[in-house]
Amino acid sequence: MDTLKGKVALITGGASGIGRATALLCAQEGAAVAIMDLDGDGGAAAAEEARAAGGRALFLPGDVTRADDCRRAVAATVAAFGGLDVLCNNAGIIRRADVLATTEAEWDRVMAVNVKSVFLMSREAIPHLAARGGGAIVNIASGWGLKGGAAAAAYCASKGAVVNLTRAMAIDHAAQGIRVNAVCPGDTDTAMLRREAGQLGRPEAEFLAEAAGRPLGRCGRPEEIARAVLYLATDASSFVTGTTLVVDGGGLA
């Protein structure tokens, strides 16, 4: 549909799952796409897939918890494609444990990847978005950023922080024409969801069946979450900022 024709999008955690689906969809919709990830093989393959879909794509190896890596990623995107219009802060990890079973190092890592990265990447991206007359930041939060969940204390805290950071940035940068929103997915069929079963010591099939226990009777697909990101990244949502879009098959309902 070319809804992002002439635009430049940077997606963190774009080597797999929701990030990869988002990168591919943005490329299909006409954007030049930069993919940032620690996974070199997966990131390079995702960029090649985006190019095969007819788009321009660049893989940027980097750690979203490191300020220098974030600075280099944004600078490389602007240098390669001439600017930046969309930032999708998708990189994330989960640790399934309550506070008693969570180590300080695990807590710090979850907060760094899930929250600090949003701050670091947005801080680098916002001047470039403003230079283009505005743009969109889409943060991937979670349904567990809006309600609590069992044995996921650090993750719930981190995603709740993403939701409120989204609101704060939306207020601060509206005058620059920058819209900031969050997508809150429910359980989505990705490698990360399957790893949760292992963290909890649960059989994968049993865990996934339980995750599908929502009104629509199934887990989400990465491309379904990507379509929500696309909506918030385009002029289709031109009067939408500071909001959380829940995409969870009715789970929160």
pLDDT band at 53 (very low <50, low <70, confident <90, very high): confident
Question: What is residue 1's predicted lDDT score, i.e. its pLDDT?
Answer: 60
Question: What is residue 54's predicted lDDT score, i.e. its pLDDT?
Answer: 83
Number of Cβ atoms within 10 Å of the Cβ of 17? 22
Tell me how far CA of residue 88 lies from CA of 12, 96, 150, in angstroms.
6, 24, 27
Average pLDDT over residues 27-50: 98
Active site residues: 155
Question: What is residue 243's predicted lDDT score, i.e. its pLDDT?
Answer: 98
Q: pLDDT by residue (tens digit) across 17-35?
A: 999 999 999 999 999 999 9
Q: pLDDT by residue (tens digit) across 115-167?
A: 999 999 999 999 999 999 999 999 999 999 999 999 999 999 999 999 999 99
Tell me how far CA of residue 20 lies from CA of 33, 49, 77, 101, 109, in angstroms.
11, 9, 17, 31, 22
Question: What is residue 97's predicted lDDT score, i.e. its pLDDT?
Answer: 98
- Model pTM score: 0.98
Question: How many angstroms separate the CA atoms of 183 and 71, rounded?
Answer: 24
Q: Is residue 2's pLDDT more than 90?
A: no
Q: pLDDT by residue (tens digit) across 63-114?
A: 999 999 999 999 999 999 999 999 999 999 999 999 999 999 999 999 999 9
Q: Which CATH architecture has domain 8-187+222-247?
A: 3-Layer(aba) Sandwich (3.40)
Question: What is residue 165's predicted lDDT score, i.e. its pLDDT?
Answer: 99
Average pLDDT over residues 209-225: 98
Q: pLDDT by residue (tens digit) across 228-248?
A: 999 999 999 999 999 999 999
Question: Domain residues of the chain, as ranges?
Answer: 8-187+222-247
